[in-house]
Structure 1
Amino acid sequence: MSRHRAPRDRRRRARNLRAVLAGGIVFGVGATATMAAWNDSEVATGSFAASVFDTESQSAGSPTYASRPTAPGATLSFAATGMSPGVSHYAWLNVRTTTATTVAGDVSLTGVTNNSGGLVAALEYRAVRMTAPNPTATCAAAAFTGTPAYIAGGASSWLPVTSVPGTPVASPVAAAGGAIGLCFEVRVVNGAANSYQGQSATVTWQFTAASSN
Structure 2
Amino acid sequence: MNNSSTSTQDRRDRRRKVAALLAGGLVVGVGTAATLAAWNDSEYAASTFTAGSFNMQGSTDQSSFDEHTTSTGAAGLAFSVPVTNLSPSDVVYAPYALRLDADTTNGADVVVDSVTATGTVTNLSYGVVTTSAAGCNAAAFAGGTSVVADGTALSSIGSPTGFTLAKPVAPADGAPTYLCFKVTAGGGLAQGQSGAATWKFTATSN
Scaled to the shorter chain, the TM-score interval is: 0.7 to 0.9
Within 2, Cα distance between the matches of 1:92 and 1:110?
18
Within 2, Cα distance between the matches of 1:167 and 1:12?
111
1:142 aligns with 2:139: yes
Cα 1:63–1:3 change in 2 (3 A) is: same
Q: Does structure 1 conserve the Cα–Cα contact (< 8 Å) formed by 2:59 and 2:98?
A: yes
What is residue 76 of structure 2 aligned with on the other side?
Answer: 75
What is residue 95 of structure 1 aligned with on the other side?
Answer: 98
Within 1, Cα distance between the matches of 2:31 and 2:92?
97
Amino acid at match of 1:98: D
What is residue 31 of structure 1 aligned with on the other side?
Answer: 31
What is residue 198 of structure 2 aligned with on the other side?
Answer: 204
Q: CA deviation at 1:207?
A: 0.6
Q: CA deviation at 1:54?
A: 1.4
Amino acid at match of 1:200: S
Write the mapping of 1:82-161 to structure 2, written as runs, cut at 5 A.
82-113=85-116, 115-117=117-119, 119-132=120-133, 137-146=134-143, 148-153=144-149, 157-161=150-154
Within 2, Cα distance between the matches of 1:68 and 1:33?
78
Q: Does structure 2 conserve the Cα–Cα contact (< 8 Å) formed by 1:110 and 1:168?
A: no
- For 1:20-48, what per-residue CA distance to the aligned partner results, in whole angstroms no more than 9, with x for missing partners? 44134224323323411333334444455
Within 1, Cα distance between the matches of 2:113 and 2:51?
26
Amino acid at match of 1:67: E
Q: Does structure 1 conserve the Cα–Cα contact (< 8 Å) formed by 2:136 and 2:180?
A: yes
Q: CA deviation at 1:111?
A: 1.4
What is residue 189 of structure 1 aligned with on the other side?
Answer: 186
Amino acid at match of 2:164: S
Cα 1:81–1:14 change in 2 (3 A) is: same
Decide which moves more: 203-212 or 104-113: 104-113
Q: How many residues align?
A: 198
CA RMSD, 1 decimal:
2.9
Q: Does structure 2 conserve the Cα–Cα contact (< 8 Å) formed by 1:106 and 1:173?
A: no
Amino acid at match of 1:26: L
Cα 1:27–1:188 change in 2 (3 A) is: farther
Cα 1:82–1:18 change in 2 (3 A) is: same
| TM norm structure 1 | 0.77
Unaligned stretches of 5+ residues in structure 2: none
Amino acid at match of 1:150: S
What is residue 171 of structure 1 aligned with on the other side?
Answer: 164
Cα 1:5–1:203 change in 2 (3 A) is: farther
Unaligned stretches of 5+ residues in structure 1: none
Q: Does structure 1 conserve the Cα–Cα contact (< 8 Å) formed by 2:130 and 2:145?
A: yes
Amino acid at match of 1:89: V
Cα 1:182–1:11 change in 2 (3 A) is: same
